[in-house]
Amino acid sequence: MKIVERLEVVLGKRSYPISIGSNIIQEDNIFWPLKPGNQAMLVTNKTLANLLKDKVLFHLRKSGVKIDQVILSDGEQYKTLNEMELIISALLEKKHARDTTLIALGGGVIGDLVGFAASIYQRGVRFIQIPTTLLSQVDASIGGKTGVNHLLGKNMIGSFWQPSSVIIDIDCLKSLPYNELISGIAEVIKYAIIFDEHFFSWLEENIKEILSLNQKAISYCIKKCCQLKSQLISLDEREKNLRALLNLGHTYGHAIEVHSGYGNWLHGEAISVGIVMATRTSELLGYLKKQDFKRIIGLLKRAGLPIKGPKNMSAASYIPYMMRDKKVMSGEIRLVLPISIGKAKIYSNVDKNIILSAIKNSQ
């Protein structure tokens, strides 16, 4: 029961640790900064309540924390203001004060909901992330982006609110449905395309080991993504410039999620198709070599991720959703496009006909 790695997101007084390891929920003092006598509220979903909740509650109580719990419905369709109000109501009913700590046990949906609730309850309380999906372990739990969905757009209501700590227990992945594991791989591949060609080559060689949850491979994979994201957050916490690169594939992918109805496409599945569309856009513009395009598509396919969008969604229907994207400025869609494996840039004023062509080619 040893912590494999401890990284830090460096943000001055708001810096926080990321602990990565196997079975580390049972480690003493892992729930930093909680101390004996502190008040806390564990928030999870119905699925995880049966799998992991009691284990976490046991260790929190053993360490002397006064812990209450909220169990929410499971799924992207429940990432709403209504569900968040259940958290706020429970905090008020149980008389949680400003020195309470919220604990998010779950994937990106729970992390986003709990982080947002923490940012607004009594104008801001602490929260701890315990991400249980690969997607949340490599991406969503780090960086302080919190929020809920609106019928007209994904993550349109939210705030930046950094956690006090992130606890990544790779053993949680053993209980993850296989399609959820594959979904998380999309975000891993995204990091490699944007920042690190060597990591991309490593993924090409080790994708089977990751999918079979080989401990050495999955630990390295998660650590690498956490390092890349931590560096970026430290440089650009509120997505003024560099951090926007992490949205590779998301402008197209969010359109698929909203159009299809939240939860019908897993986030990573939609992002995979979004990466294909962004990559195709870059190739059509002459930025990306065909050879790199083929390698990207090849890796997504080998991971078992989709490379074609929904059959019932026309190319033209993507545009209204893309126009509501948070990166839109002065009415212009801004796209993150790969220009080689390991490098991406943000482009404005991309010809809409090129965007439509790229989408059509990926249907």
CA neighbor of 262 nearest in space, from 145, 175, 181, 152 = 152
132 is in an annotated binding site: yes
What is residue 344's DSSP assignment? E
Question: Among residues 53, 190, 229, 259, which one is catalytic?
Answer: 229
Contact (Cβ atoms closer than 8 angstroms) between residue 107 and residue 145: no
3-class secondary-structure state, position 315: helix
* 111 labelled binding-site residue: yes
Least Cα distance to 242 among 116, 97, 143, 363 occurs for 143
Q: Is 76 annotated as a binding residue?
A: yes
21 is in an annotated binding site: no
Give catalytic status of residue 209 as yes or no: no
Candidates 83, 237, 239, 283; catalytic one: 239
Catalytic residue from among 247, 257, 280, 334: 247
Q: Please name which of 183, 153, 363, 112 lies closest in space to residue 258, comparing C-alpha atoms.
A: 153
| Residue in 55, 59, 243, 324 annotated catalytic | 243
178 annotated to a ligand binding site:
no
Whether residue 229 lies in the annotated active site:
yes
Query: Is 187 annotated to bind ligand?
Result: yes
DSSP result, 84-153: HHHHHHHHHHTT--TT-EEEEEESHHHHHHHHHHHHHGGG--EEEEEE-SHHIIIIITSS-EEEEEETTE
126, 224, 254, 334: the active-site residue: 254
Active site residue 239: yes
197 appears as a binding residue in the annotation:
no
Q: Is 243 a catalytic residue?
A: yes
Catalytic site residue 145?
A: yes
289 among known catalytic residues: no
- Binding residue per annotation — 77? yes
To the query of whether residue 250 is one of the catalytic residues in this protein, the response is: yes
Torsion sign across C-alpha atoms 57, 227, 296, 333: positive
The answer to whether the CB of 281 falls within 8 A of the CB of 344 is: no
Structure tokens at 267: 């986030």
Q: Is 205 among the annotated ligand-binding positions?
A: no
Query: Of 267, 280, 295, 334, which residue is the catalytic one?
Result: 267
User: Is 154 flagged in the annotation as binding?
Assistant: yes
Q: Is 95 annotated as a binding residue?
A: no
- Per the annotation, the verdict on 27 as an active-site residue is no
Of the candidates 38, 45, 149, 187, the residue annotated as catalytic is 187
* Catalytic, out of 145, 190, 259, 295: 145
- Confirm whether 224 is a catalytic residue: no
**Residue 53 marked in a binding site:** no
Other Cβ atoms less than 10 A from the Cβ of 8: the count is 11
Q: Is 198 annotated as a binding residue?
A: no
Active-site residue flag, 96: no
Binding residues for Zn(2+): 187, 250, 267
For the annotated catalytic residues, the residue numbers are 123, 145, 187, 229, 239, 243, 247, 250, 254, 267
- Tell me the binding residues: 74-79, 108-112, 132-133, 145, 154, 187, 250, 267
